[in-house]
Amino acid sequence: MRVLMVSDVYFPRVNGVSTSIETFRRTLLAQGVEVRLVVPRYGDEADEPGIVRVAGRPLPGDPEDRMVGWRAMHRRVLAEAADCDLIHVQTPFIAHYAGLKAGRKLGLPVVATYHTLFEEYLQHYAPFLPAAWLRGQARRFSRRQCNALDAVVVPSTAMRERLEAYGVTSPLHVLPTGIPTAQFAGGNGLGFRLRHDIAEDRPLALFVGRVAHEKNIGFLLDAMVHARKRRPDLLLMIAGEGPAMGDLQKQVATLGLADAVRFVGYLDRRQGLPDCYAAADVFVFASRTETQGLVLLEAMAAGLPVIALSEMGTTDILAPGRGAFSPPCDSKAFGETLGHFVDHPAAWRHLGDEAPIYAREWSDVAMAGRLAQLYRQLAGKPGAVPSPLTAAA
């Protein structure tokens, strides 16, 4: 079976969508599914088998991203889909319309993954517009796009419920992105600390993700003020880049946390990121708009306990006795929990023991098998399941 995936974003742009695409592309092959990609060109990326790049230009105010040409994207998607069995759209921008048009012209089923809860994001990027109006526009936009598809994949139960509330009537399939658990289990934490001049016995809390306003990193900085009352030597490391960097650096200075917060930018996923996870004592996460929260599972696969807010997609992950703890959505309470954790590591050791066992339940191989079943169902191929895959992991 051959599937065309179409997206407005892909590596070298690092984010959850790129990670999800690459994870499934790599693991679906063992399920008998060949994946071909049509994605933006960011610079001088080398040609790779099965990856077609379309020229794009930087987005105003967001140089990390690219906007591909409308006609060029439509032409390439139509050409590449001609010998495919199904089209899987990964983003709701030009890729959505190119994939949908090609699918309808060629008589192919079109499925999309709804990665991003836009009603929660837009207010950060258009604060000059009324928040209620923006939410309404985002809901109508999402409902219209989803109902034009043959099926929609969502990464969490909370996202399915939200789209149902929007009035989406297309079949909704809860199917998280899996993670390559072995990749994150062998990091060199001591080597990472030596490279970054962090004392071996200094407690280290870690955040990994895009440095954007919707990630609620400012909440973590406020929490650090309270955590350091118990452990003044606590260090928060922020691994990632993004448009909120300047504001967060100002907040660090205002809070007097210059010696307590370190920004290290993007890390190589093959070695740098596993080493970083292995170096940390605890993973912290405060985003309230995540559709899944893959980094929580990556941290758990590395044996790292997680302290995170249970909001939206992370709720499916943050189960009691599963390597994580969820304080109230209050920076003081979160910070006190974090401070207690690093000051009493023996009392919390069970979380680190539970985390990698739990992470294996979310493996990339298991999730690829479920997605392959869905593809075959939609394309009418042998081995299809008889009904939508709606069970949450």
pLDDT, tens digit, for every residue of 100-127?
Answer: 999 999 999 999 999 887 776 565 556 6
Torsion angle, CA of 302/33/174/14, rounded to 10 degrees? 50
| Mean pLDDT computed over 174-203 | 94
Q: How far apart are CA 208 and CA 242, in angstroms?
A: 12
Select from 325, 333, 340 the least CA-distant residue to 219.
333
What CATH class is the domain 181-362?
alpha beta
Summarised one tens digit per residue, pLDDT across range 289-306 is 887 788 999 999 999 999
User: 2-178+363-379 has which CATH code?
Assistant: 3.40.50.2000
Asked whether the bond before 60 is cis by omega within 30 degrees of 0, the reply is no
- pLDDT category of residue 37 using cuts at 50, 70 and 90: very high
| Mean pLDDT computed over 87-95 | 97
Task: Tell me the average pLDDT of the chain.
Answer: 91
Q: What does the domain layout of the chain look like in residue ranges?
A: 2-178+363-379, 181-362
Amino acid at the residue 229: K
| DSSP one-letter code for 207 | E
Q: Is 296 left (phi over 0), alpha (psi -120 to 50) or beta?
A: alpha
Share of the chain above pLDDT 90, in %: 76
> Do the first three CATH levels of 2-178+363-379 and 181-362 match, i.e. the same topology?
yes
For residue 169, the tally of other CB atoms under 10 A from its CB is: 11
Cβ neighbours of residue 241 closer than 8 Å, sequence gap 6 or more:
64, 210, 211, 265, 266
Q: How many helices (H) and strands (E) does the chain have?
A: 14, 14
